[in-house]
């Protein structure tokens, strides 16, 4: 939840004018991309968000406070018709009577990989004070952000190469290298590794507690887990 301190023209002059408000909700799981076939779960999912926001945002301000839903790589992996079906359900809830907040159609969308990379850079450099400094710092923090379904790489550039991205924050201009690599997130890579392990002709096994386990050379000693969707039991054996 963010509070924007705007000028007389209703604009934000600086990133320093944006304040993050503390809330107790944290990150909700699962992500929206997993809820396509669970239409009855959407209402309860968003009620948790509405309830926490209503505790923090004064009632008189709620109808003018926009509620923004930006979906990332997990959604981009889905076919476009499935993306559209999920986001239409989200819009239906935000437009309904259960939401006291301001709804705008373009505040509910699936963002591009480049946008996700830029937002990661803004977040890190805001936290580190680079973007809120009164002086223009001589350095900024580069970002390597590995999520579940993609990895983002972003850094500030001092020259103007062909594929740079220009970012305007308040009255300041930043020139960035920003890339997102879809399907290269931690969960995606792990899923592909399990598929490889399942098909690996030279894999070996261990029997424990009456169960048969695949020995995994890419998991640490002591790792043991049942991958129920794949019907696999994995045990870490780095030297297998």
Active-site hit among 116, 195, 212, 237: 116
Measure the CA–CA gap between 23 and 48, rounded to whole angstroms: 12
Strand partners, 236: 216
On the 0-12 / 13-18 / 19+ scale of CB atoms within 10 A, 16 is: middle
Closest listed residue to residue 112, CA positions, set 76, 67, 149, 148: 76
DSSP-derived 3-state class of residue 102: strand
Q: What's the residue count for the chain?
A: 240
Q: Which two tokens stand for residue 178?
A: 């920003």
- Cβ atoms of 46 and 25 within 8 Å: the answer is no
Measure the CA–CA gap between 198 and 183, rounded to whole angstroms: 20
Q: Is 92 known to be catalytic?
A: no
Measure the CA–CA gap between 53 and 66, rounded to whole angstroms: 11
On the 0-12 / 13-18 / 19+ scale of CB atoms within 10 A, 20 is: exposed
Residues known to be catalytic:
116
């Amino acid at each position: 939840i963010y509070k924007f301190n705007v000028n007389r023209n209703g604009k934000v002059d600086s990133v320093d004018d944006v304040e993050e408000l503390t809330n107790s909700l944290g990150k909700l799981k699962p992500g929206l991309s997993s809820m396509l076939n669970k239409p009855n779960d959407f209402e309860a999912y968003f009620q948790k968000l509405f309830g926490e926001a209503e505790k923090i945002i004064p009632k008189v301000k709620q109808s003018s406070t926009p509620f923004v839903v930006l979906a990332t790589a997990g959604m981009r992996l889905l076919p476009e018709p499935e993306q559209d079906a999920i986001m239409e359900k989200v819009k239906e809830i935000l437009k309904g009577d259960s939401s006291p907040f301001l709804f705008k159609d373009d505040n509910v969308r699936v963002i591009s990989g480049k946008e996700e990379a830029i937002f990661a850079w803004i977040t890190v450099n805001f936290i580190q004070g680079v973007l809120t400094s009164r002086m223009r710092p001589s350095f900024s923090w580069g970002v390597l952000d590995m999520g579940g379904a993609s990895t983002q790489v972003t850094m500030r550039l001092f020259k103007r190469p062909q594929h740079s991205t220009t970012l305007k924050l308040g009255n300041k201009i930043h020139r960035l290298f920003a890339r997102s690599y879809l399907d290269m997130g931690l969960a995606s890579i792990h899923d592909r590794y399990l598929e490889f392990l399942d098909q690996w002709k030279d894999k070996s096994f261990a029997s424990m507690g009456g169960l048969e386990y695949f020995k995994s050379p890419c998991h640490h000693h002591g790792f043991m887990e049942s991958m129920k969707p794949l019907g696999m039991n994995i045990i870490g054996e780095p030297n297998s």
